[in-house]
Amino acid sequence: MNILIIGGGGVVGRKLASALVDRGHLMGRDITKITLADIADPELKAGSVHITGLACDITDPASVSEAITPETDVIYHLAAVVSAHAEEDFEAGMKINLDGTRNILERCRTLGTAPVVVFTSSIAVYGGDVPDPVGEQSFLNPQTSYGMQKAVGELMVNDYSRKGFVDGRAVRLPTISVRPGKPNRAASGFMSSILREPLNGQEAVCPVGEEFLHYYLSPRLCAENLVRTAEIEAGALGMNRVLQMPGRTWSIRQMIDAMTAVAGPDPARLIRWEKDEALLKIVGGWRFDIRADRALGLGLIADDSFEDNIRYYIEDDRG
């Protein structure tokens, strides 16, 4: 089993690679090789699995052709320009999120090997005047360019799968929290940093009120769900290849209380509250009343409590 993770240098890509290495097999076959495209040095304990890094520019079809070979069995496509970035730089979002995804699917089509392709979409596909709750069969009405580009990716994954060019699956990721590492340009960045920084003894700024609700999943279970997504039988997906990855809806207050329950009262004192109206305009349009019934029925999972999210961060990632 030869696995390519495009966007393998990101938080989810690295977690996924680690989970695959720990597991050693996918879809009933031993994993022999994992390629992390977009970083030179994957820095992973490889064990029996051959892990390589590969520079890859998904906006360049030649670079994509180098990454996806006739030997590639499974492709995880996680690479994207994130929400706030795609909103600021429309052209970058179109090139990377839309053309990049298409280049990957096109390479598979011309190869003719019909690999499994797991594409990470986003809850940013929901929006506008569409009634709650939203989920796998809601009208997609994104109110950001990022969400539009992800929705287009879903439609292409579906059609390329229907035509037999790939065995595709698209999963709409909840917001991942607690994300390790440094802040990125995602508008959702604060949803991790207000926990991560205080858990590391540093100050953090919360740009929304404590009543702000959103839909979350831990990185650990996100990686686990990506493994499970590849293993779903194609026939069980029926006439649509898109799943809502399960998460849970929490308020900022509930998340902070969970941090206090796990790590004591000190971290919460490090949060400064400063509303950011520009950011609220973006995240205020995001949905939090989300249902993932189909994905749950197909074996995907959510965290049991936000205490779990805090514990997983401390166990897996805190320096």
Which among 269, 280, 256, 247 has a CA at the least distance from the CA of 195? 256
Residue 290 interacting with a second copy (CB under 8 A): no
Q: How far is the CB of 278 from a second copy (least distance, A)?
A: 16
* Contact between 138 and a second copy per CB under 8 A: yes
Among 10, 13, 100, 127, binds a second copy (CB under 8 A): 127
Binding to a second copy in span 214-243, by CB under 8 A: 238-240
Residue 155 binding a second copy, by CB under 8 A: yes
Decide if residue 6 touches a second copy (CB under 8 A).
no
143 sits near a second copy (criterion: CB under 8 A):
yes
Q: In sequence order, which residues have a C-beta less than 8 Å from that of residue 317 and are 6 or more positions away?
A: 178, 180, 181, 219
Q: Does 89 bind a second copy (CB under 8 A)?
A: no
Residues contacting 278, CB < 8 A, separation 6+: none
Q: In the bound complex, what is the minimum distance in angstroms from residue 143's beta carbon to a second copy? A: 7
Residue 151 as a binder of a second copy (CB under 8 A): the answer is: yes
Q: Is 146 a catalytic residue?
A: yes
CB of 164 to a second copy, least distance (A): 11
The helix (run of H) or strand (run of E) holding residue 52 is strand 50-54
- Residue among 206, 69, 221, 91 at smallest CA distance from 145: 91
Given 57, 159, 257, 317, the residue binding a second copy (CB under 8 A): 159
Nearer to a second copy, 40 or 155 (CB): 155
Query: Does position 163 bind a second copy by CB under 8 A?
Result: yes
Interface with a second copy (CB under 8 A), residue from 52, 63, 69, 141: 141
Phi, psi of 166 (to 5 degrees): -140, 165
292 contacts a second copy (rule: CB under 8 A): no
Select from 28-36, 45-53, 157-165, 214-222 the region that touches a second copy (CB under 8 A): 157-165
- CA 113 – CA 93 distance, rounded (Å): 28
Asked whether the beta carbons of 144 and 124 are under 8 A apart, the reply is yes
Count of residues of this chain found to bind a second copy when the rule CB under 8 A is applied: 27
Report the distance separating Cα 246 and Cα 265, nearest Å: 29
Catalytic member of 76, 126, 146, 313: 146
Among 16, 26, 56, 148, binds a second copy (CB under 8 A): 148
Buried b (16+ CB within 10 A) or exposed e, 15-26: bbbbbbbeeeeb
For residue 178, cis peptide bond before it (omega within 30 degrees of 0): yes
Ramachandran bin of 151, using left for φ above 0, alpha for ψ from -120 to 50, beta for the remaining angles: alpha
Asked whether the beta carbons of 114 and 164 are under 8 A apart, the reply is yes
For a second copy, which stretch binds (CB under 8 A), given 127-135, 185-193, 195-203, 254-262?
127-135
Catalytic residues: 146
Residues that bind a second copy (CB under 8 A): 90, 109, 127-130, 136-143, 145, 148, 151-152, 155-156, 158-159, 162-163, 238-240
